[in-house]
Amino acid sequence: MKTIPWMIVAALLALTAPPLSQTRDRCRIQVGCCAPIRDLEAVRSAGFDYYEVRVAEVEALSDEEFQKLQGRLKELKFSTPVANYFLPGRVRVTGPSTDRAQQLAYLSKALDRMASLGVKVVVFGSSGARNVPAGYSRDEAMRQLVDFCRVAAAEAEARNITIVIEPLRPQESNIINTAADGLALVEEVKHPRFQLLVDFYHMAIQKEDFSIIDRAGARILHTHIANPQGRVYPKPGDGCDYAGFFAALRRIGYCGGISVEAGTSDMGSDGPTAITLIREGTK
């Protein structure tokens, strides 16, 4: 029996796996919000389609606290198809103090809990866990990162979850800073359960051309957005090229979610404004 090339598998997965996907001719982008558990009710009240939960925060809950969270989500009838903040800083994936047993123990508990919440996509930003220590070999750090991503992807696959790498601006991370870097990592890891996230905030900060979205295509399984001027909620007329970002996503037939990952002092007002901006811009 012939083996299907991994790139074909990845492309098929990207088109079918995201929990928010629909067929291209009736695609309606879902708008979510990244927030701590304490803001759950506020996120729901603001009108977001889904809640992007924090993996590390949920992993740290006691069994009783986790059951209460499940109950709150059920009562609110609020879905959690995506999660971010994958690894806490103590779970190192680069440098001289990595511990595979610790990594596996964390992955097992964290991903089990994500699966029980219905999470299908986990965002791997986690600068504290992946940053290369001063004086450490970058080549070795990259080897370690690729190795960890393959292990994590296999663990995720067993739970019907896909991990997406989140490129972070240099002020936050010293490895995988651009969408182009992220795409190169995806191509190096070569696992259908390891794909790419693009974040308007990080792209805008670094002035990365949106043409990388066209290059990445179906490997993009999730997106984040924020106004780079203060990392606040996006609003019409705030001077950012959201239209260019949305146009690039439309060109690749993107039908996944767009999560607002930003700060606000008035979610009740800023949330609906951002939701309308994204829904109108991605029609």
d(CA 283, CA 33): 19
- Is the residue at 138 inside a domain? yes
Crossing angle (nearest 10°) for helices 138-157 and 179-189: 70
Residue 1 confidence (pLDDT): 42
Place of tokens 């002035």: 207
- Is the residue at 1 inside a domain? no
Residue 27 confidence (pLDDT): 80
Domain count, the chain: 1
- Is the residue at 205 inside a domain? yes
In tens digits, the chain (283 residues) has pLDDT values of 444 454 444 444 444 444 444 444 458 899 999 999 999 999 999 999 999 999 999 999 999 999 999 999 999 999 999 999 999 999 999 999 999 999 999 999 999 999 999 999 999 999 999 999 999 999 999 999 999 999 999 999 999 999 999 999 999 999 999 999 999 999 999 999 999 999 999 999 999 999 999 999 999 999 999 999 999 999 999 999 999 999 999 999 999 999 999 999 999 999 999 999 999 999 9
Residue 136 confidence (pLDDT): 98
Burial pattern 52-75, b for ≥16 Cβ within 10 A else e, equals bbbbbbbbeeeeeebeebeeebee
Single pTM value for the model: 0.91
CATH classification at residue 235: 3.20.20.150
> Which structural domain, as residue segments, surrounds residue 42?
6-281
Place of tokens 């990594």: 103
Which element (helix H / strand E) includes 106? Answer: helix 100-117
Residues 6+ apart with CB under 8 A from 36: 54, 57
| Overall residue count recorded for the chain in this entry | 283
- Is the residue at 194 inside a domain? yes
